[in-house]
Structure 1
């Protein structure tokens, strides 16, 4: 059982580390981990799931059930089950990790090396191959958003190692944060940049007692200088992207929708029309193209906006295709895990053995809720895989760290009672 625990957590870490390093790298560790999880019924382990374990599993299950309903309602194409099935198949992986202890600290290494590998891929593509945007084996937006997510988790790892006074690992984790940010910058994915200040403030606020006022101000200052430096280096392309954003908005206001940002506005407009047409269940994935073509024929939206498969906004995509019912299922998938992780952060606000894993877990839905403003993350394999599985990885890590803490308290109490 001990060996199974070591292998299981190593596979979880490998999924993070290889997510952007090689094509479909996230599948490697997760596929094997899922196969291993199927052995759980044959092992002599007792299931003692908590109410919160059931809640987080139920949120994913409900999303899968509603997605299945919409697939049936709008065509029942078995191909459409691929991505939603991950919300169901993640359950046995969670059960496995909740029942086999191991080196959960490997998750920090997985995220950190995943971010570093992403930056290596990005640097190679931008400055050796000469590509305009780093993308690895994914779309640039998916690459950039996943890279910054790994960078955020690396930043939490830095807080964990700071609390442990493990300074070599602290330095490596900081490098991971910088690398993850660099991968996002070189991908040119502006949507992921919006949440960086908010998430950094969130992390600094919740670590103010650990770091102290001087360190918090110092980190804030370093981040500010870093941001200004990034803007000042033209080769990174950030200032150019910001200029293009401003120009695109101005062009759109002047009646020119056919820019990168302008087409997004057109897709969002079309999505709102679809939602208005069918607010309860939406128009369905297969009805959306016909609906958009009709809007284009009437001159409501640009013809070029019709070719896109989704609205480049997860919220509007859900509202337009699945109506308010699908939208509520989507929000449950975001908010239920987020609430559970935030609750653990409050319960163990001074215990970084637990709090760090809870903070890392909370950053997954927080980041995705930011990414969702400019991309339909769940329309891509990597978007689904790098959401549901990191959540269960860090939730299981929280539960083991929590158990370790409570058992330690019980042992201390027993010693005190014996001494009395």
Structure 2
């Protein structure tokens, strides 16, 4: 009875994380706070033992611990500012949640409901902001880039949900999941966040390739062609704002190359990357640190290396270059570990169950999280924002627990 109650509440809060992530201010914190508090109670009542974890469970555990500890170490080197401990600590705080979900009765299908509802809610909010409030870019309570990138993530996970329901021949739910997919992507388009759009063709191809035996040649080709046609229509319609944002990017590059104007969205990114590269060259192993970067930028501005407009920006708008500049090669190594090892765990499960969509779908959704974040990281430092950290660490744990429960259920049959 206790396990059943905990299971229902735990998976409800997990699904709620996605549902409210963008639709309400700091909505991602509602579900994560609820499931974290529940997990603390669960540690005492349900008594999950270390010996009950599989080797892969332990790998994920130590990946999160090592990343958090490394960030704590860099915080110490930077002067031990307490605020620098906040976001890395989420990778520790999510671990009791993993124990709770692995122990509770699995209701992993609720994650699909949460993602689809979250994507639809994000699109509704984006549409309201653009059409009613007249904003240039939809953003909710977040930065437009974070809003758009999270929308892409929700949309792509909803696409995996559609494949799951197609495999189960639950076609009404499949249609709803497809609506969620279009909604999440639509929210991103209305946000004007170009960085997340790069993920769509790349990860879309990955999903279609992984689903080729499930869907068959006709549906794969049909889906691919339909996606291209829809994308062409979206780009060609000026009211969507997509065409304008793309042309703006090309124009920014031309202005930068000509040396006419570096104070543009793309131009400032180039300048920030240039400054970050100088920082990395100065301290290649451990970086200059967040609090040392200001002095370096001031010197580069005085020397005319970069424009003064880069000074207010706290990061380089590129996760990888930012890690190199502030934390050096060591920091980049830990960043790649927290990306690649969880992704490897999910891909391993996909290879292990290539035709079992009861398991594979959850593994595919989990793999999408680091895949998307590596793409998002090309133009944004996702881990510099609360939503970026929370919507990485917690979904990975959620989908990992979902994979493990799906495995147990298959073995029990």
- The more displaced of 138-147 and 288-297 is 288-297
Matched, 1:114 2:118: yes
Q: CA deviation at 1:57?
A: 1.2
For residues 73 and 44 of structure 2, the distance between their equivalents in structure 1, rounded to whole angstroms, comes to 32
User: Aligned partners of 2:20, 2:157: CA distance in 1, in Å?
Assistant: 15
Matches within 5 A, 1:402-413: 402-408=407-413
The match for 1:412 is none
Structure 1 match to 2:294: 289
Aligned equivalents of 1:328, 1:42: Cα separation in 2: 35
SS at match of 1:39: helix
Which residue among 28, 31, 34 is the counterpart of 2:33? 31
Instruction: Find out whether 1:189 has 2:223 as its counterpart.
Output: no
1:87 to 87, 91, 99: 91
1:238-294 Cα distance to aligned partner (Å, 9 max, x none): 111111111111000011211110000000000000000000000000011111111
1:187 deviates by: 0.3
Q: Does residue 307 of the first structure (1) align with residue 312 of the second (2)?
A: yes
Shift of 1:42: 2.1
Partner of 2:279: 274
CA–CA separation in structure 2 for the residues paired with 1:371 and 1:39: 35
| Post-superposition CA distance 1:335-363 (Å, at most 9, x none) | 00000000000000000000000000000
Of 330, 336, 345, the residue aligned with 1:340 is: 345
Counterpart in 1 of 2:363?
A: 358
SS of 1:308's equivalent? coil
Give CA deviations for 1:14-70 in whole Å, capped at 9, x if unaligned.
010000010010110110110110112322445310010010111111111110011
Paired residue for 1:169? Answer: 173
CA-CA distance at 1:79 after TM superposition: 1.2
Is 1:99 the counterpart of 2:99 in the alignment? no
Give 3-state SS (helix, strand or coil) of 1:165's partner: coil
| Aligned-partner SS, 1:285 | coil
User: Which residue does the alignment assign to 1:418?
Assistant: none
The 2-side partners of 1:340 and 1:44 are apart by 26
Aligned match for 1:126, one of 127, 130, 146: 130
1:144-159 equivalence runs, <5 A: 144-159=148-163
| Matched residue SS, 2:292 | helix
How large is the RMSD of aligned CA atoms in angstroms? 0.7
- The answer as to 2:66 corresponding to 1:65 is no
Unaligned runs of 5+ in 1: 409-420
After superposition, the C-alpha distances for 1:168-227 in whole angstroms (9 at most, x for unaligned) are 100000000000000000000000001110000000000000000000011001101100
Work out whether residues 46 and 103 of structure 2, in 8 Å CA contact, stay in contact via their aligned partners in 1.
Answer: no
Q: Distance in 1 between matches of 2:105 and 2:335?
A: 31
Equivalent residues of 2:23, 2:121 under 8 A apart: yes
CA distance in 2, matches of 1:334, 1:314: 11
Partner Cα distance (1:176, 1:108) in 2: 10
Cα shift readout 1:58-117 (whole Å, capped 9, x = no counterpart): 111111111001101111011111111001111000110000023210100000010000
Note the 1:380-395 alignment, pairs <5 A.
Answer: 380-395=385-400
Cα distance in 1, alignment partners of residues 43 and 230 from structure 2: 51
Which segments of 5 or more consecutive residues in structure 2 lack a partner in the other structure?
A: none
Matching of residue 214 in structure 1 with residue 218 in structure 2: yes
CA contact (8 A) 2:119 2:184 kept: yes
Aligned-partner Cα distance in 2 for 1:202–1:192: 16
* Aligned structure 1 segments of 4 or more residues deviating by more than 4 angstroms: none
Q: In the alignment, which residue of structure 2 is the partner of 1:319?
A: 324
TM-score, reference length from structure 2:
0.98
SS of the residue 2:312 aligns to? coil
Output the CA distance in 2 between the equivalents of 1:102 and 1:365: 23
Q: What count of residue pairs does the alignment treat as equivalent?
A: 408
CA offsets 1:138-195 (integer angstroms, 9 cap, x no match): 0000000000100000000000000000011000000000000000000000000011
